[in-house]
A and B are shown apart, each in its own frame.
Chain A
Amino acid sequence: MSLSVDPWIWIGALFSLAIFSFLYKDNPFYRVAEHVFVGAANGYAVTFYWHNVLVPALFNPLFRQGQLLFIIPFVIGILYFTRFIPKIGWLLRIPIGIYIGYYVGASIPAYIQAFIIKQVQGTILTPQNFASWSAGSWGILWSVILFAGVLCTLSYFYFSKEHKGVLGATSRIGTIFIMIGFGAAFGYTVMARVSLLIGRLQFLLGDWLGIIR
């Protein structure tokens, strides 16, 4: 039992216990920890947005080096504050429009390549894909099961026709694949979460209380 002497270890440990206390019930310690977290987290965000974004990308070029071109982002940015002025509140839609337009436009080609074309490439039945399992002739069976699973899952998300007859059968098979996939992912995630709990307890029992080595 060798208690730690570093004040910060004590602060970290007490905050951890305060959050864990939420498991018992919502209590003042938890709420203090919750609000300290919100305050500190936003303080940290403000620090980095200021030092790493606003100062180097806007204030230095505009005010120090006098590059007047930066008036444009400055003015559009200020439009965000029109939200507090009801009469000209609609001006808020200008920065939001620019922001959404750009991101939504950029997502189209990225989504098509990464989530449609590359996925089709991985599902097609070819000798190359059979070999990629590096499981010899079993690879053919795995590729066929993958192929059938993808088609059946796709049929589950087909909305234009009632799920009866053939479509009813394929969509039910599709749900089987979906549910097996969810179960497997759940199993892996349980291991990950329990590892994090063990990691936190190693900090509390080890670094703080010194019960375990």
Chain B
Amino acid sequence: MKIIDKLAKIDRRIIYLILAVVVILPMIFPSVLRVRVMPPVEKLFHAVDNVPKEKALIIDFDYAPQTAPELEPMGFALLRHAFRKRTKVLILSLYVQMLGLAQNALTEVIEEFNSVAETNTDSIIYGRDYVFLGWVPPPIIPILGMGESITNVYQVDYYGNRTDTLPLMKEIKNYNNVGLLVSLSGSDPPEWWIAYAQNRFGLQVGAGVTAVSASKYFSYYQTGQFSGLMVGMKGAAEYEEMIEKELAIKSRRIASEALPPLTYAHLVIMVFIVIGNISFLMQRRKK
């Protein structure tokens, strides 16, 4: 009976230590687990993939540092997908704090593609292949304004160039020239894009959200308002799986690398539950 008593009184810090080890080890020796892609992410992949040549993909980077672990890998995967398919990309944020993270994701992926490109045609060039529009407050102005003219809303882009001088902006005038908009956010922006932009201009909307706020968004996916949905780090890993499988993109899969530690963490928590209950039942029977 001694083990049971000891089990019942494991010190809290040992539990923390076990969790820490179980999470850190798979991070130091990364391995990528095969991921089964569920329908919501598959639909989003095909929606991004089917953006016509002459149209653009807009990515709305609206995650804060605190929700970056779940949403940043989605941003990287979407950018790699679009640039590999040479889809035209516009990037924007609805809030000022998010600009820094959008800029960080953009520069890293561009560098990844341009370091490998030989000729001018297959490298990613600002103004021709993508434009970083930046931020115009309050959010309702870009959401509705881009329906008629994007250059009227964003007269100047993030870097300060006049947008009407950029070649890409001559082709992409408004939502008619936008195949799909994907909003990455931990709060309400995806709802706004449906309520305002989709209702009035028929804009196709996809979303990448945090796991905690997932249940609310499933109803919009069910009604078809969302053309696809990624939820949490697992959703990001599924998208990384799709771009590797369909487009043979061999870049670092941050979210997929997080799956092993995530799996072991879940297993450890489940084992703790079982042990905790065994010692609990033993004690109850003893009484």
Contact = CB atoms under 8 A, between A and B. Distances in A.
Interface of A: 23-24, 122, 132-134, 185, 188-192, 194-202, 205, 211-213
Interface string B211-236: 11011000100110000000011100
Interface stretch (B48-56, B123-131, B173-181, B257-265): B257-265
Interface of B: 13, 16, 23-24, 27-28, 30, 66, 68-70, 210-212, 214-215, 219, 222-223, 232-234, 252, 254, 258, 261-262, 265-266, 269
B68 A195 contact: no
Nearest to A213: B252
A198 B233 contact: yes
22 contacts: A24-B13, A134-B222, A188-B214, A189-B211, A189-B212, A192-B232, A194-B23, A195-B211, A195-B233, A195-B262, A196-B66, A196-B69, A197-B23, A197-B265, A198-B27, A198-B261, A199-B69, A202-B27, A202-B254, A205-B24, A205-B28, A212-B28
A205 B261 CA distance: 14
Majority SS at the chain B contact face:
helix
Given A192-B70, A194-B261, A195-B211, 17 more contacts: A133-B222, A134-B222, A188-B211, A189-B211, A189-B212, A191-B233, A191-B234, A191-B262, A192-B210, A195-B232, A195-B233, A195-B262, A197-B23, A198-B258, A199-B70, A202-B69, A202-B254
Contact of A195 (B16, B70, B222, B269): B70
A205 B233 contact: no
Contact of B222 (A132, A196, A199): A132
Nearest to A188: B211
A191 B236 CA distance: 13
Contacts of A188: 211-212, 214-215, 232
Find the residue from B69, B223, B254 having the highest chain A CB count within 10 A.
B69
A23 B28 contact: no
A20 to B, nearest CB: 9
Contacts of B28: 205, 211-212
Nearest to A184: B215
A194 B265 contact: yes
B82 to A, nearest CB: 23
Nearest to B259: A198
Nearest to B263: A194
B262 A201 contact: no
A199 B68 contact: yes
Nearest to A196: B69
A185 B233 CA distance: 16
B211 A185 contact: no
A47 to B, nearest CB: 14
B69 A195 contact: yes
A150 to B, nearest CB: 15
B215 A185 contact: yes
Nearest to A133: B222
A133 B219 CA distance: 9
A190 B69 contact: no
Contacts of B254: 202
Given A188-B214, A190-B266, A195-B211, A201 B233 contact: no
Contact of B262 (A23, A194, A202): A194
A60 to B, nearest CB: 19
A201 B21 CA distance: 11
